[in-house]
Structure 1
Amino acid sequence: MSDWIISLEGTDLGHQLALILAILAAILHALFGALQKGRHDPWLSRGAMDFCYGIIAAPIALFVVPWPEPHMWPIFIGAWVIHTLYKTAQGYTYSKGAYTVVYPVVRGTGPLFTVIGAGIVFGEHFNATQWLGVAVLISGIFGLAIYNLRTITVGRDTMVPALMLAVLTGSLVALYTTYDAYGIRATADPFTFLAWFFFIDGFVMPVVAVMRYRGLDVKPDLGPLMMRGLLGGIVAYFSFGFIMLATRLDNVGEAAVLRETSTVFAALIGWLVLKEKVGPRRLLLMALIALGAVIVEMGG
């Protein structure tokens, strides 16, 4: 599998596969976000998810994939620090703000900064048509956030700090996307990076979750929480793995923009699963997001 992935780098088939992987990552990322923000405290959910994917990754990292080259260890440390900061900011964001409001802000801020970062780090530059696509996509995402903000009736008193945290979280999304794209390109085997990333990344949030669980007056049942963690951990493998493989196969900026169609899928989850109303305005905004992604792809 690794040799086949590597052989597709820079080819037309690799570009098409990267497109498919980025869209699949968008769908799965929306599901992952909904799982973390769902019925359980987001800190507990994230801790359970990280614990599960860390445990699953351990035997793969230690006994299946090739061990990382020496120069990869500082890269893994950097990724661990960035992702810990990101998950901390995300936890506070989800704790203070409604999911349908803060999630679009996080995902709208991320691609803009990622495109800029990819230009600086990898020398990838969008043309005028692609920047138009980015503008259309971001306008749809932020329009969706504003529309959702106008319609919510609970938690409005914490929305200002929640939105500020959402912008911070989005900037950290851009940072980890660019940094991880550098990391997965720095090792010979992309699956070495993925397996060791999940193994190392699974240590911190479970500790945070245990500390938070002990401090709760009303403690949730661990069975349903760990089932959610197992499902979320599996989703995370494919969501993160797909987008990272896409950044190795093709342009980082394009993959990041396509992943942010996750906002559309998040809205669909809210409609189909959470029974939220969609309405013509939200449909129009969702169409703008999809149109922006199409413009970016076709413009390239």
Structure 2
Amino acid sequence: MSAWIISLDGTEAGHQLALVLALLAAFLHAIFGALQKGRHDPWLSRGAIDASYFVMALPVVFFVVPFPEPELWPIFVGMFVIHLIYKILQAKAYTRGAYTVVYPVVRGTGPLFTVFGAYLIFGEVFGAVQWLGVAVLMSGIFGLALYNLRHLEVARDTLPAALGFAVLTGMFVALYTTYDAYGIRASADPFTFLAWYFVIDGVALPPYAYLRWRAMADRPAPGPLLLRGVIGGVIAFGSFGSIMLATRLDKVGEAAVLRETSTVFAAVIGWIFLRETVGPRRIALMALIAAGAVIVELGG
């Protein structure tokens, strides 16, 4: 599998596979976000998810993939720090604001910063048509956030803090996207990087989540929480794994923009599972997001 992925690097087949992987990551990431924002405390949900993919990745790193090259360990340290800060910011945003307001802001700021980061690190350049696509996509995303904000009935007192944390989270989305792309490209075997990513990334939050759970007066039952963690862990493999492979195969900026169609999937999930209203205006804004992604792809 690794040899096949590496052989597609820079080819038209690799470009098409990166497109599919980025869209798959968008769909799965919307589900992942809804799982973290669902009925459980976001810290507990994220702790259960991280613990699950840590346990699932352990046998892979020891018995399946090659051992990492020595030069990857400093990269892993930076990756651990960046992702930890990202998760802390995301949990703080989710505990203060409605999912359909916070999530679009996070995902709307992410691609813009990622495009600039990809230019600085990888020398990627967007053409005029692609910048138009970015503008269309971001207008749809932020329009969706503003629409949701206007119709928000709860948590308005904590909304300014939630939006501030959402913007900061979006900046770290861009940072980890470009940094992870650098790391997976530096690895001789992309699946070695992916497997160790899940082991290293899953270390920090589970102990904190457990202590937080122990301190609660009304503790949620561990069974449903752990089940949510296992489901989220499997989804994380598909979501984060797909976007990292997409950035290995093709342009980081394009993959990041396509992933932000997750906002469309998130709105649908919020409507179906979180009982959040979707009307014709939101449908039009979601269509705008999808159109922006298509323009970016066609302009590439």
Where on the TM-score scale, by shorter chain, does this alignment land: which range? over 0.9
Distance 2:209 2:236 in 1: 18
Query: In the comparison of the two structures, how many residue pairs are matched?
Result: 300
Q: Equivalent residue for 1:90?
A: 90
Q: Equivalent residue for 1:207?
A: 207
Encode CA deviations 1:102-129: one digit per residue, 9 max, x unaligned.
Answer: 0000000000000000000000010011
Deviation, structure 1 residue 278 = 1.3
SS at match of 1:155: coil
Deviation, structure 1 residue 277 = 2.4
After the TM superposition, which residues 73-88 of structure 1 pair with which residues of structure 2 at under 5 Å, given as runs? 73-88=73-88
Q: Which runs of 5+ in 2 are unaligned?
A: none
Identical counterparts, % of pairs = 70
Deviation, structure 1 residue 211 = 1.7
Amino acid at match of 1:36: Q
Q: Equivalent residue for 2:35?
A: 35
Residues 38, 274 of structure 2: 8 Å contact kept: no
Q: Which runs of 5+ in 1 are unaligned?
A: none
Q: Equivalent residue for 1:232?
A: 232
After the TM superposition, which residues 83-162 of structure 1 pair with which residues of structure 2 at under 5 Å, given as runs? 83-162=83-162
1:186 aligns with 2:154: no
1:241 aligns with 2:276: no
SS at match of 1:157: coil
Deviation, structure 1 residue 62 = 1.3
Deviation, structure 1 residue 275 = 3.4
Deviation, structure 1 residue 207 = 1.2
Q: Provide the aligned C-alpha RMSD in A.
A: 0.6
Distance 1:277 1:233 in 2: 28
Encode CA deviations 1:48-71: one digit per residue, 9 max, x unaligned.
Answer: 000000000011011110000000
Distance 1:42 1:281 in 2: 29
Q: Equivalent residue for 1:277?
A: 277
Distance 2:178 2:298 in 1: 22
Deviation, structure 1 residue 152 = 1.0
SS at match of 2:158: helix
Residues 99, 270 of structure 2: 8 Å contact kept: no
Distance 1:97 1:276 in 2: 13
SS at match of 2:274: coil
Distance 1:97 1:26 in 2: 21
Deviation, structure 1 residue 272 = 2.3
Deviation, structure 1 residue 74 = 0.3
TM-score by length of 2: 0.99
Distance 1:191 1:53 in 2: 15
Distance 2:271 2:217 in 1: 32
Deviation, structure 1 residue 210 = 1.1
